[in-house]
Structures are given as structure tokens and as C-alpha cells.
Homo-oligomer: A and B are copies of this chain.
Amino acid sequence: MNRAMTGQQLTSLYLDYLDCLNRREWRYLGSFVSMAVVHNGRHIGLAGYQDMLQGDYRAIPDLHFTPELLTVGPKAVACRLVFDCMPVGIFLDLPVYGRRVRFHEHAFYGFENNRIAEVWSIIDHAAIAAQLAGPV
């Protein structure tokens, strides 16, 4: 079952993964994410990955993953995600405290055996800081 997926299959798989996150269907997360997943160089594994996501939802109860741009390589997906949400407290070291912020994440996903095996993610921290510095 280690056959290479087509770009269309990988796109579809990735969008199903986002749907799984948005529905918070954690019992299906292992269908999309490898047991040995690595996130930004940290070997957190599937359980650690789920903990991270559940922590994100506690910090941002109205969190929703929306893909804006998508490019697909043979075994990789890159996605520009947009978030429009209200983190309840301090988020990424910034005192958001329930204000509405809009920001992007640029994430690369390496796939192995049709599951996400490694994620490299950067969030646009400066955009959030700029919104907090601006008028309420």
C-alpha cells in the first residue's frame, strides 16, 4: 500500500485531513497522520500531534482551518491556510484575550505511506502583533 498517490489523490487526502481537524474527529486523525509524525523538527508522534491540536482548540475555541493556496508535489503538500478567530488568552506570546484576529500559516507536509509524516509550519506572528497594536 505504499504506491505513489496522484496529485489529485493527495489533494483530496489533505482536504479530508483538514475536514477531520475542523470536525474535531480525533478518532480519525490516525488515518491521516503517521504514528511517528515529526512537527517542526520535534518527534511528537500521533498522540503528541493530537494533544497539540486539542490544545489549539482550547486556546482558540472557534478555530477553523481554511486552505487558501495549495500546491502538491509527489509526496508533499504545501498549503497557505487562513484563520479568522478569537484566541481566548495569550496566543503565541501575544495578549490576544478574545480579540478577533486574521492571520495565515504556511505549512509543508511530507507524506509517507499516504500519511503525514513530517510538518514544517510557520505562522504569521507579525500579522497578529500588528492587529493587536492597531485600533480595537
Contact = CB atoms under 8 A, between A and B. Distances in A.
Nearest to A10: B71
B69 A120 contact: yes
Interface of A: 69-73, 76-78, 80, 92, 104-108, 110, 120, 122-126
Contacts of A124: 122
A123 B92 CA distance: 15
Count identical subunits in the complex: 2
Contacts of A122: 104-106, 122-124
A50 B126 CA distance: 23
A123 B125 CA distance: 9
A104 B121 CA distance: 10
A71 B69 contact: no
Nearest to A121: B106
Given A104-B120, A122-B123, A77 B69 contact: no
Contacts of A71: 71-73, 76-78, 108
Nearest to A11: B73
Given A104-B120, A106-B108, A122-B106, A73 B76 contact: no
